[in-house]
Amino acid sequence: MGYSSNNTIAKSKGTAILFAKSIPFQHRATLVDGGGRYVVVKGTIADRMYTFANIYAPNKSQHKFLAKFLTTLKDFTEGCLVLGGDFNLPMDPLRDTSLGRSAVPARILRRINSLLHSNRLVDCWRALHPEDRDYTFFSHPAQTYSRLDYFFLSHYHLQDLHSATIGNLTWSDHAPVTMTLTSPLYRTTAPTWRLNDFLLSDPTVIQDCTQALEHYFTENANPDLAPLTIWEAHKCVIRGFYIQKASEFKRQKSTAITDTLKRIATLETLHKGSLDADGLVELTAARRELTTLLNSSYHRQCQRSKMFFFAHGDKSGRLLARMLQKQRAASYIAKIRDSHNQIHYLPGDIQSTIRSYYESLYNLPGHTPDREGATNRTDIRDYLTTHLKCRLPQSTARLLELPLSAEELTGALKASKTGKCPGPDGLPLNYYKRFLKTLAPHFLLAFNSVPEGRLIPPQTLSANITLIPKDGKDAAQCENYRPISLLNCDLKIFAKILASRLLPHITDLIHPDQTGFIPGREARDNTIRALTLTHRAQRRGEELLLLSTDAEKAFDRVNWDFLFATLEHIGLGPHLCAWIRALYINPTARICVNGMYTAPFKIRNGTRQGCPLSPLLFTLALEPFLAAIRGSPDVRGLRVGPTEHKIAAYADDLLFFISRPETTLPNVLQAFHRYGLLSNLKINYAKSFILNISLSSRRVSALTPRFPFQWATSRIKYLGIWVT
């Protein structure tokens, strides 16, 4: 295997051959199966550890063999794992056999693919040839071709894959498979830094940090410098301070551990020769000292391992291991499908595909007037004037205009939960809580300058986006991930203060039909209401349809022009509007994909999932649509006494109560279309369902082809509750 050029591995008939060139493979250990089914070797090439595993699977119960083998392999593997061999089955019969089918049961294929996915092993040839068909074996009796021989590589080393080819069938009944790995010396990584919470509990470091902060703000108290610039620059200074302190602690701890180990070795040697009781006491004390030194490392490792999993048992065991493995596998993206329906397996292609999807999602047409299809602000004002009648009293609006206060800052910090991942600056919430007394005046001075025309620095507005897969959805589709923005904690504190100001008055602005994120309202208000109206319609023979709609990326598609026009229309003052608008002036984000960050891109629409203010802003932006539905005489609901029930909402989860569907459904579609042009809301009709409660089957048959919604046969799920 040559390191100066490419590392080449070939396999034929279950035998792996390493072609050595300039640098030899230095063998470390070997693992051999007594039954002759596998052989595993590990060693180094140019000081880099590799594990090469070769298997010859049986011709039945391959899933059981592979599960047992991977369990054994996990404890043996070090470094880059290369797994090759004859698996005796096609992984994907549709593409890996000439007939497009296989005699291997589907459950075995599903189990094997699940095992490979959970162990993050990628089919190298398929990764480079996603749509091609080629085979490694020809069956003379059946006269069929199939691909039974594979190379698998860990996803985290897939960037080293240069090529994978299938040779010709010559002297053997199996074709040779060749894989080439490039040199791993250079790898692009995104530098990340996060403040170690341990440094926030050391009294000496706290005292030194306080002095450093006071010195910095004293030295830079210059009226010619923008307060926000001074505030953002202090993060660079404090990062350098903590990096220096962390390095000092690391050196001291490493030295102490080394010295203690040497002392233990000396004492053990003496005790072995003399068996002196005093020597044993001294040796025990030295061992206890070593344990104390290592405890902090163990504690941090336990925190990283999500200690709450131990609630499922008194001891860590198989249950904990399975839960952790499932959690890690869920966040791992093995493949992704692009807009042209092509599947990508390589890390670089996965990153670029996901980045392109979210960059287009956060840069929808209609944000600026000079874009094609841009929203007409006059139309927005006319829409809001027509449908949105509620406004804040001027006295309340004046109270919301007051400068941010120290009491509000303290309250926001107390209400914020610690232990959450910080944003790109790496400073956690505990940092601001620990040094509140020193930082508070400068925080307030910085963010109170926003209404004066000061812009929040781009570094403060940057975010890291982490993707959470939706349960039960195809993980190969970009839209089946929920993007959570990890914002800088100072920005979240600022947004928390603004949310705390708005929250007491939000019930005056949002109709009771909306129960999402509103104090005193709960999701069960809507579900009980839906069940009650359903029973009433059935009992009294009143016509009723339930329409549950699914909004596509509702939070991420919000049009900022529409949002800010809504805030001004409901009577928010210029200072509060300026504070909110400052959160949306040139923000950027980068996406974390399998531990690697994409290049940053600009965001031009949407409310960030993870920002404390986003839920309130979204409900305010959706309220004009709900008001339009309630006020439309052409949308008929179910009347109970003086109240006509038309719609129930929990954020973007909408449930319509529809009577006279022949005229109501077209008007609901028209209302969606009108609001969507102004706000970017997009309904996913394939996931929006109608449930017939009391209409005749003849009327349902006539209605079904006229509307794009799906018709449920017996039940629909709303807010996790089945309505039948």
Nearest by Cα to 677 from 390, 386, 389, 383? 383
Residue 133: CB partners within 8 Å, gap ≥ 6? 95, 96
Is residue 301 classed as helix, strand or coil in its secondary structure? Answer: helix
Confidence of residue 506 (pLDDT cuts 50, 70, 90): very high
Q: Is the pLDDT of residue 11 over 90?
A: no
Task: Give the mean model confidence (pLDDT) for residues 99-118.
Answer: 92
Q: Is the pLDDT of residue 1 over 90?
A: no
Residue 293's pLDDT is what? 79
Confidence of residue 14 (pLDDT cuts 50, 70, 90): very low
Provide the Cα torsion 57, 60, 63, 69; round to 10°: -30
Q: Of 294 and 112, which is predicted with more confidence? A: 112
Q: What pLDDT digit, counting tens, does each position of 290-344 carry?
A: 888 777 666 656 655 554 444 444 444 555 555 555 555 556 787 899 999 999 9
Give me the residue label for tokens 């020769």. Answer: 273
Residue 302's pLDDT is what? 62
CA atoms within 13 A on the CB side of 516: 19
Q: Is the pLDDT of residue 542 over 60?
A: yes
- Stated pTM of the model: 0.78
Residue 677 φ then ψ, to 5° = -65, -30
Q: What pLDDT digit, counting tens, does each position of 573-603 carry?
A: 999 999 999 999 999 999 998 878 999 999 9
- Name which of 88-102, 358-372, 560-574 the model is least confident about: 358-372
Nearest by Cα to 142 from 113, 109, 173, 175? 173
- Name which of 297-301, 503-507, 693-697 the model is least confident about: 297-301
Is residue 154 classed as helix, strand or coil in its secondary structure? Answer: strand
Task: Give the mean model confidence (pLDDT) for residues 607-619.
Answer: 92
Provide the Cα torsion 630, 632, 638, 644; round to 10°: 50
Please tell me the distance from the alpha carbon of residue 73 to that of residue 292, in angstroms, as a whole number: 34
Chain-wide mean pLDDT for the chain? 87
Burial of 362 from C-beta contacts in 10 A (0-12 / 13-18 / 19+): buried
Is the alpha carbon torsion for 81, 86, 88, 90 positive or negative? positive
Radius of gyration of the chain (CA): 31
Residue 307's pLDDT is what? 47
Please tell me the distance from the alpha carbon of residue 647 to that of residue 660, in angstroms, as a whole number: 15
Burial of 632 from C-beta contacts in 10 A (0-12 / 13-18 / 19+): middle
- Name which of 170-174, 216-220, 443-447 the model is least confident about: 170-174
Cβ atoms 150, 85 nearer than 8 A: yes
Please tell me the distance from the alpha carbon of residue 577 to that of residue 556, in angstroms, as a whole number: 20
CB neighbourhood size of 98 (10 A): 15
Task: Give the mean model confidence (pLDDT) for residues 640-649.
Answer: 94
CB neighbourhood size of 360 (10 A): 12
Q: What pLDDT digit, counting tens, does each position of 444-460 carry?
A: 999 999 999 999 999 99
Measured CA distances, 587 to 224, 466, 497, 600, 639 (Å): 25, 16, 19, 10, 46
Residue 6's pLDDT is what? 45
Task: Give the mean model confidence (pLDDT) for residues 382-406.
Answer: 95
CA atoms within 13 A on the CB side of 574: 3
Task: Give the mean model confidence (pLDDT) for residues 691-718.
Answer: 93
Burial of 510 from C-beta contacts in 10 A (0-12 / 13-18 / 19+): buried
